[in-house]
């Protein structure tokens, strides 16, 4: 079998011109075939079976007696895809051609199906009645000459001889005949490799009735010369790849092999027709499902020829997949610069297949690698006595950056990879994933590639990612690919830096979640391979903690850093710079969760240790002193904080100069403190100095300058200079979006500042829109629980209220308060602010609802009083407005409901707000209960209110030492509502247990005994809510009751209670300590009796 190219996916028959019929005739006519001049005239039908596999029937278009078809046209592969988009490109080129003879060149990498498309067009030509159709394998020029000679005989070209000795002459006669004939013709040249070969291309056609269609892997200048039109042939589209798998397996009677991972498999195969054909055949032969085959394919331990074996070449392709994909590599190796194609191809295979920077090929690491691994083909060596010496010299000559790029261009020209040129950005050079895998399968030493790639990536990585974020992202992608391939191979001193740099880059890009994941992997690997005390491990754990802190996981950061420091002697951290850095990071983490006392204490020690090891002008020392000043400020020591920051600014100006970056940072920090203490004019003056100086030090588009402008705009807003603020912030937002990206955290901060300026200027709608956009991005990138997200959500709630969207404001503020209580420290001032905002919003909404729905207004009043309880308890004087506003709202609402007595009662409540004999918190709780009872005594909300009130009342009574009152309160609340299955019942049961767990005070035993008995009864009533916790509570309460009865000398009752407690503990085998406790009490009571 001869003919065919490197990438047709079909078998070949010496027939007249195959093309699939649109549909078979219902009643086929009698078939008759004849063979003339080795050409079949008539239809060809193939059918049959192999084992239990069904073989598809393919009927070939018959050749008319007046037609000549010369050459072996491949059969179309099973489940052939018509490639609509590619065919449209071919037709556009065909219609737009103005050359004497239309010559179209289908150019593409190995395995994309170029020959199949050519076969499709050849078959169409036969079906359309084209007079002469010629198919020649152009990989061998002599083979083309032979086909042309046979064609000359078939068409009876003038001057044809027809014997072997006149083959070249006959071929020339055929080309001359093509130029002058009036008959229509198509010449297909499959797999052209040498565009300079003579006697290959027809020179013209009369009246435009002829056409040449060729396939090639090349796409260099020679390919598109001489009027040839280049048409790129790419892999299947997603739809075509999925359709191929579905149709191929279905036609083979194996549709059951398709599962929900079929599309994923098509993508993993890169939608490459050749690979899809082999994979489908392998699945048909083995009965492997698409999901199981995908698992096999993704195992890097298997070579490409293992998962796409030659035995799966059901379409008689003729080559293993690896060889097919790299077929042009030998030819590329012989092109200038010679000897670089193979090492360049192997190195390209370890980068991201979707694209890597062209600049990688200009790095010293890569050019040195190409120099060491350059191989000059033997036929390229000079003849003569000095050939060996010259070959050695040529192979060792340093490869320049220009030569490296030219080597990439050669690989591009031979369709082994794609180089889109300098204008294509940071992903200009890419290659098919299977081609990359094939290249690695043929590489003897992967370790060299991994080390060179790691060094090249680090060498190219910008010092600061913001200078080229697109480049940094591309380098991260290639690092991910490299790490996946290399595995432990990168854990070497010369390769490890690329992993650290990629993780740092994720952090710089604001991808804090991804940075955490990356540092977790690095830290775990470092700990397992190096030990927890090695420097690499400490650095990784420190960076992991910093990333956790940025991602809003402050408690995780604290745990990591405390563990890291705990692995060393208590005083050792003061002598090691990296441990001092870890302690400094811990100070920042403490600050973030409101642990200001610890932040101050450790911050002072960190500064002292840093001063012993570092010079005064050291940036890290200045940063740690600034952090300590921040801790002072947050702990209320504002005077010390400002004094320290003023001193830092003076020292940095003296030591480093007024425009040094560290001086600008110190000035910015001091301005921030000035602004937070009301010294806004001084803050603005300092910030304007920073903005003026930053461009000359950093550049106008540096993130530091953009951040300084954003802070200045925010200060303008606070100072009432809204026009200045809006003008500055709108420009900052535009610049930040352009330079940093719309989703960079710094851009989001600037947009939030702009929203505040809009709101101050009365443009609340614009403010709300901006904050909604910012919140959506932060929830997606930072997570809903990140502190920055929490702050934005709180600000949006405030702006909803300013925009008169009070309902939305209440809903969002309720979430803000709930999140604050869950995420922040108990005494965090932001939680108090959130609670105060919610109280205000509820009362405002109640006032707005009052005319139309006084009942809803009363429920808002109740909710406001409930929310205000902790505020009133903590600061009754500073929150005195809450009860008055609430009571007045309640009075007005009852008046609207025509309940004058209640209206009068709540007016009196409002007038008694200064009564020192009643605590405001207690009065507010009582008022809430009173309103609920008035609204709906049996309503679940009213009952829950009383339960809640009873719970708070019990805790207050317990705090005041009256446990009997506390117990009675809780017991009554539970006993009166045994059927109310609500979340408060477990809480009340827990309260009972806490209040009865301690022995009674002397003199109060008789007083407490009834309450304890009722506590037992109430706890037992919780059996309707299945829970081991409730049974455990019952056992403990019974034990307490037994002890108290024994103290009162009621021995029989005590023994009975102790036995009941022991029985309850027996029912909980999972809590052995409880049984031991009840057994000990029972034994003691029995012994005492």
Q: What is the pLDDT of residues 78-130, one digit of tens each?
A: 888 888 888 888 887 777 665 556 888 898 888 888 888 888 889 888 888 89
Q: Give the largest Cα separation in the chain, rounded.
A: 136
Name the nearest CA neighbour of 476 among 459, 493, 445, 498.
498
Contact 894, 872 (CB under 8 A): no
Query: Can you tell me the distance from the alpha carbon of 176 to that of 852, in angstroms, rounded to the nearest whole number?
Result: 98
pLDDT of 586 above 60 = yes
Mean pLDDT for the stretch of residues 908-923: 66
pLDDT at site 954: 52
pLDDT of 241 above 70 = yes
Tell me the domain boundaries of the chain: 65-232, 238-325
pLDDT of 917 above 60 = no
Contact 949, 926 (CB under 8 A): yes
Instruction: State the pLDDT confidence band at 733, using cuts at 50, 70 and 90.
Output: very high
Query: Can you tell me the distance from the alpha carbon of 358 to that of 361, in angstroms, rounded to the nearest whole number?
Result: 6
Return the structure tokens found at 173: 């006669």
Contact 526, 534 (CB under 8 A): yes
Query: Can you tell me the distance from the alpha carbon of 741 to that of 167, in angstroms, rounded to the nearest whole number?
Result: 67
pLDDT of 9 above 50 = no
pLDDT of 28 above 60 = no
Name the nearest CA neighbour of 226 among 258, 257, 195, 252.
195
pLDDT tens digits, residue range 968-1019?
555 555 555 544 434 344 444 445 545 554 444 545 555 555 555 655 555 5
**Beta-strand relationship, 68-70 and 132-137:** parallel
Q: What percent of the chain has pLDDT over 90?
A: 24
Query: Can you tell me the distance from the alpha carbon of 819 to that of 653, in angstroms, rounded to the nearest whole number?
Result: 43
For 341, 369, 385, 396, the CA distances from 391, given in Å and listed in that order, are 17, 18, 11, 9
Query: Can you tell me the distance from the alpha carbon of 456 to that of 348, in angstroms, rounded to the nearest whole number?
Result: 12
Q: Which range (46-60, 412-426, 658-672, 731-745) has the least confidence?
A: 46-60
The predicted model scores a pTM of: 0.65
Instruction: State the pLDDT confidence band at 33, using cuts at 50, 70 and 90.
Output: very low
DSSP 567-630: TS-TTGGGG-HHHHHHHHHHHHHHHHTT-HHHHHHHHHHHHHHHHHHS-TT-HHHHHHHHHHHH
* Burial class (CB within 10 angstroms; exposed 0-12, middle 13-18, buried 19+) of 932: buried
Query: Can you tell me the distance from the alpha carbon of 412 to that of 427, in angstroms, rounded to the nearest whole number?
Result: 14
Query: Can you tell me the distance from the alpha carbon of 547 to that of 824, in angstroms, rounded to the nearest whole number?
Result: 19
Give start and end residues of each alpha helix (H) in 850-899: 854-874, 881-896
Query: Can you tell me the distance from the alpha carbon of 1030 to that of 1027, in angstroms, rounded to the nearest whole number?
Result: 5
DSSP 888-930: HHHHHHHHHTT-HHHHHHHHHHHHGGG-TTS-HHHHHHHHHHH
**Homologous superfamily (CATH) for 65-232:** P-loop containing nucleotide triphosphate hydrolases (3.40.50.300)
Mean pLDDT for the stretch of residues 911-922: 62
pLDDT at site 13: 33
pLDDT at site 829: 80
Angle at 223 between CA 222 and CA 224, to 5 degrees: 95
Query: Can you tell me the distance from the alpha carbon of 29 to that of 219, in angstroms, rounded to the nearest whole number?
Result: 46
Residue 401's beta-bridge partner residues?
Answer: none
Contact 540, 523 (CB under 8 A): yes
pLDDT of 646 above 90 = yes
Phi, psi angle pair for 302, to nearest 5°: -95, 135
Query: Can you tell me the distance from the alpha carbon of 112 to that of 244, in angstroms, rounded to the nearest whole number?
Result: 13
Query: Can you tell me the distance from the alpha carbon of 714 to that of 774, in angstroms, rounded to the nearest whole number?
Result: 16
487-516: b or e for each residue (b if 16 or more CB lie within 10 Å)? eebbbeeebbebbbbbbbbbbbbbbbbbbb
CA of residue 172 relative to chain centroid, distance: 62
pLDDT tens digits, residue range 338-368?
999 999 999 999 999 889 999 999 999 999 9
Which strand (E) or helix (H) includes residue 105?
A: strand 102-107
pLDDT tens digits, residue range 147-184?
999 999 998 989 888 888 888 888 899 999 988 888 99
947-976: b or e for each residue (b if 16 or more CB lie within 10 Å)? bbbbbbbbbbbbeeebbbbbbbbbbbbbee
pLDDT at site 189: 92
696-727: b or e for each residue (b if 16 or more CB lie within 10 Å)? ebbeeebbbbbbbbbbbbbbbbbeebbebbbe
pLDDT of 926 above 80 = no
Query: Can you tell me the distance from the alpha carbon of 533 to that of 537, in angstroms, rounded to the nearest whole number?
Result: 7
Q: Which range (599-603, 644-648, 757-761, 924-928) has the least confidence?
A: 924-928
Q: Which range (241-245, 275-279, 566-570, 904-908) has the least confidence?
A: 566-570
Query: Can you tell me the distance from the alpha carbon of 1032 to that of 736, in angstroms, rounded to the nearest whole number?
Result: 59
Return the structure tokens found at 238: 């997603």
Phi, psi angle pair for 569, to nearest 5°: -60, 150
pLDDT at site 452: 95
Whole-angstrom distance between the N-terminal and C-terminal Cα of the chain? Answer: 108
Give start and end residues of each alpha helix (H) in 677-744: 680-698, 703-718, 722-739
For 28, 85, 216, 260, 441, the CA distances from 235, given in Å and listed in that order, are 37, 11, 15, 22, 22
Name the nearest CA neighbour of 157 among 146, 147, 144, 172.
172
* Burial class (CB within 10 angstroms; exposed 0-12, middle 13-18, buried 19+) of 1070: exposed
Question: Helix or strand or coil: residue 92?
Answer: helix
Instruction: State the pLDDT confidence band at 54, using cuts at 50, 70 and 90.
Output: very low
* Burial class (CB within 10 angstroms; exposed 0-12, middle 13-18, buried 19+) of 838: buried
Mean pLDDT for the stretch of residues 820-832: 79
pLDDT at site 727: 95
pLDDT tens digits, residue range 609-640?
888 876 666 778 888 999 999 999 988 899 99
Contact 316, 7 (CB under 8 A): no
Residues comprising the chain, all counted: 1089
Query: Can you tell me the distance from the alpha carbon of 5 to that of 317, in angstroms, rounded to the nearest whole number?
Result: 8
Mean pLDDT for the stretch of residues 308-327: 65
Quick one: angle between helices 661-676 and 619-634, nearest 10? 0
pLDDT of 572 above 80 = no
Return the structure tokens found at 967: 């117990």
pLDDT of 478 above 90 = yes
Q: CB 571: neighbour CB atoms within 10 A?
A: 8
What is the pLDDT of the chain when averaged over all its residues?
Answer: 79
CA of residue 482 relative to chain centroid, distance: 18
Return the structure tokens found at 282: 């392998």
Give the number of C-alpha atoms closer than 13 A to the C-alpha of residue 556, restricted to the C-beta side.
17
Which strand (E) or helix (H) includes residue 565?
A: helix 554-566
Return the structure tokens found at 511: 């991808």
pLDDT of 456 above 90 = yes
**Beta-strand relationship, 185-192 and 418-419:** unpaired
pLDDT at site 3: 38
* Burial class (CB within 10 angstroms; exposed 0-12, middle 13-18, buried 19+) of 407: buried
The DSSP output letter for 39 is: E
Phi, psi angle pair for 12, to nearest 5°: -120, 140
Q: Backbone dihedral region of 636: left (phi > 0), alpha (psi from -120 to 50 degrees) or beta? A: left
């Amino acid at each position: 079998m001869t003919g065919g190219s490197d990438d047709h996916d079909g078998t070949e028959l010496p027939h007249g011109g195959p093309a699939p019929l649109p549909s078979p005739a219902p009643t086929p006519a009698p078939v008759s075939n004849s063979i003339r001049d080795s050409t079949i005239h008539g239809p060809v039908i193939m059918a049959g079976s192999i084992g239990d596999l069904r073989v598809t029937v393919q009927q070939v278009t018959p050749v008319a007696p007046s037609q000549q078809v010369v050459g072996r046209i491949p059969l179309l592969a099973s489940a052939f895809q018509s490639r609509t988009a590619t065919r449209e490109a071919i037709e556009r080129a065909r219609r737009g051609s103005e050359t004497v003879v239309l010559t179209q060149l289908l150019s593409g990498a190995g395995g994309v199906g170029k020959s199949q498309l050519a076969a499709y067009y050849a078959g169409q030509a036969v079906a359309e009645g084209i007079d002469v159709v010629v198919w020649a394998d152009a990989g061998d020029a002599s083979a083309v000459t032979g086909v042309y000679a046979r064609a000359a005989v078939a068409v009876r070209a003038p001057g044809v001889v027809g014997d072997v000795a006149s083959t070249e002459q006959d071929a020339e006669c055929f080309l001359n005949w093509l130029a002058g004939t009036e008959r229509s013709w198509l010449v297909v040249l499959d797999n052209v490799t040498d565009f300079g070969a003579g006697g290959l291309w027809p020179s013209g056609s009369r009246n435009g009735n002829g056409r040449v269609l060729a396939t090639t892997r090349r796409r260099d200048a020679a390919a598109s010369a001489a009027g040839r039109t280049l048409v790129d042939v790419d892999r299947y589209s997603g739809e075509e790849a999925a359709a191929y798998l579905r149709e191929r397996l279905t036609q083979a009677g194996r549709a059951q092999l398709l599962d929900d991972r079929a599309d994923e498999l098509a993508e993993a195969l890169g939608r490459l027709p050749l690979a899809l054909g082999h994979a489908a055949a392998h699945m048909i032969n083995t009965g492997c499902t698409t999901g199981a085959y995908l698992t096999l394919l993704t195992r890097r331990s298997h070579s490409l020829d293992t998962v796409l074996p030659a035995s799966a070449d059901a379409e008689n392709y003729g080559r293993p997949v690896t060889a097919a994909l790299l077929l042009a590599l030998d030819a590329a190796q012989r092109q200038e610069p010679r000897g670089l194609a193979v090492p360049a191809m192997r190195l390209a295979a370890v980068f991201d297949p979707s694209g890597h920077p062209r600049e990688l090929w200009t790095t010293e690491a890569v050019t040195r690698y190409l120099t060491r691994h350059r191989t000059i083909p033997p036929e390229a060596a000079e003849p003569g006595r000095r050939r060996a010496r010259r070959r050695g010299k040529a192979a060792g000559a340093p490869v320049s950056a220009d030569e490296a790029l030219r080597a990439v261009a050669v690989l591009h020209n031979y369709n082994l990879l794609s180089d889109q040129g300098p204008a294509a950005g940071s992903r200009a050079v890419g290659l098919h994933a299977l081609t990359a895998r094939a290249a690695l399968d043929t590489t003897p030493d992967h370790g060299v590639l991994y080390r060179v790639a790691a060094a090249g990536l680090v060498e190219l990585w910008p010092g600061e990612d913001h200078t080229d974020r697109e480049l940094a992202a591309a380098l991260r992608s290639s690092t991910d690919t490299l790490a996946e391939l290399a595995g432990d191979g990168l854990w070497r001193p010369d390769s490890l830096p690329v992993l650290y740099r990629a993780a740092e880059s994720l952090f710089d890009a604001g991808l804090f979640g991804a940075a955490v994941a990356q540092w977790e992997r690095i830290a775990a690997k470092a700990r397992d391979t190096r030990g927890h005390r090695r420097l690499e491990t400490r650095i990784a754990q420190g960076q992991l903690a910093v990333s956790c802190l940025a991602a809003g996981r402050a408690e995780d950061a604290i745990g990591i850093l405390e563990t890291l420091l705990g692995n060393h002697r208590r005083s050792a951290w003061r002598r090691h710079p990296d441990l001092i850095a870890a302690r400094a990071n811990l100070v920042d983490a403490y600050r973030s969760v409101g642990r200001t006392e610890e932040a101050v204490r450790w911050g002072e020690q960190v500064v002292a240790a840093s001063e012993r090891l570092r010079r005064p002008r050291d940036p890290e020392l200045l940063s740690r002193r600034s952090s300590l000043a921040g801790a002072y400020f947050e702990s209320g020591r504002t005077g010390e904080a400002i004094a320290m920051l003023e001193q830092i600014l003076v020292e940095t100006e003296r030591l480093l100069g007024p425009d040094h970056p560290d001086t600008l940072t110190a000035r910015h920090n001091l301005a921030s403190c000035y602004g937070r203490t009301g010294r806004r004019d001084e803050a603005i003056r300092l910030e304007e100095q920073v903005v003026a100086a930053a461009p000359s030090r950093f550049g106008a588009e540096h993130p530091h300058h953009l951040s300084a402008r954003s802070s200045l705009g925010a200060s303008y807003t606070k100072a009432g200079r809204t026009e200045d603020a809006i003008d500055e912030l709108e420009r900052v937002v535009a610049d930040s979006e352009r330079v940093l990206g719309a989703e960079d955290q710094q851009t989001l901060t600037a947009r939030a500042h702009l929203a505040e300026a809009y709101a101050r200027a009365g443009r609340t709608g614009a403010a709300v829109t901006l904050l909604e956009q910012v919140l959506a991005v932060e929830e997606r990138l930072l997570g809903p629980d990140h502190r920055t997200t929490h702050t934005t959500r709180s600000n949006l709630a405030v702006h909803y209220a300013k925009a008169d969207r009070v309902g939305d404001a209440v809903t969002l503020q309720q979430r803000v308060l709930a999140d604050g209580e869950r995420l922040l420290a108990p005494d965090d001032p932001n939680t108090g602010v959130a609670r105060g905002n919610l109280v205000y919003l509820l009362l405002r909404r109640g006032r707005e609802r009052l005319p139309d729905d006084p009942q809803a207004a009363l429920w808002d009043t109740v909710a406001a009083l409930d929310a205000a309880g902790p505020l009133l308890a903590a600061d009754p004087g500073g929150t005195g407005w809450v009860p008055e506003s609430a009571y007045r709202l309640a009075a007005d609402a009852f008046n609207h409901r025509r309940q004058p007595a209640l209206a009068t009662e709540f007016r009196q409540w409002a007038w008694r707000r200064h009564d020192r004999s009643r605590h405001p918190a207690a009065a507010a709780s009582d008022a809430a209960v009173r309103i609920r009872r008035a609204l709906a005594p049996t309503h679940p909300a009213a009952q829950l209110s009383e339960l809640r009130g009873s719970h708070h009342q019990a805790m207050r009574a317990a705090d005041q030492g009256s446990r009997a009152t506390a117990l009675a309160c809780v017991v009554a609340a539970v006993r009166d509502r045994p059927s109310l299955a609500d979340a408060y019942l477990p809480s009340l049961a827990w309260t009972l247990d806490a209040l009865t767990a301690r022995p009674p005070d002397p003199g109060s035993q008789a007083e407490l005994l009834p309450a304890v008995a009722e506590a037992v009864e109430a706890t037992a009533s919780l059996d309707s809510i299945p829970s081991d916790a409730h049974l455990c509570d019952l056992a403990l309460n019974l034990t307490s009751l037994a002890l108290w009865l024994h103290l009162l000398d009621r021995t029989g009752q005590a023994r009975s209670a102790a036995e009941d407690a022991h029985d309850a503990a027996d029912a909980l085998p999972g809590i052995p300590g409880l049984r031991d406790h009840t057994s000990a009490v029972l034994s003691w009571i029995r012994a005492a009796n």
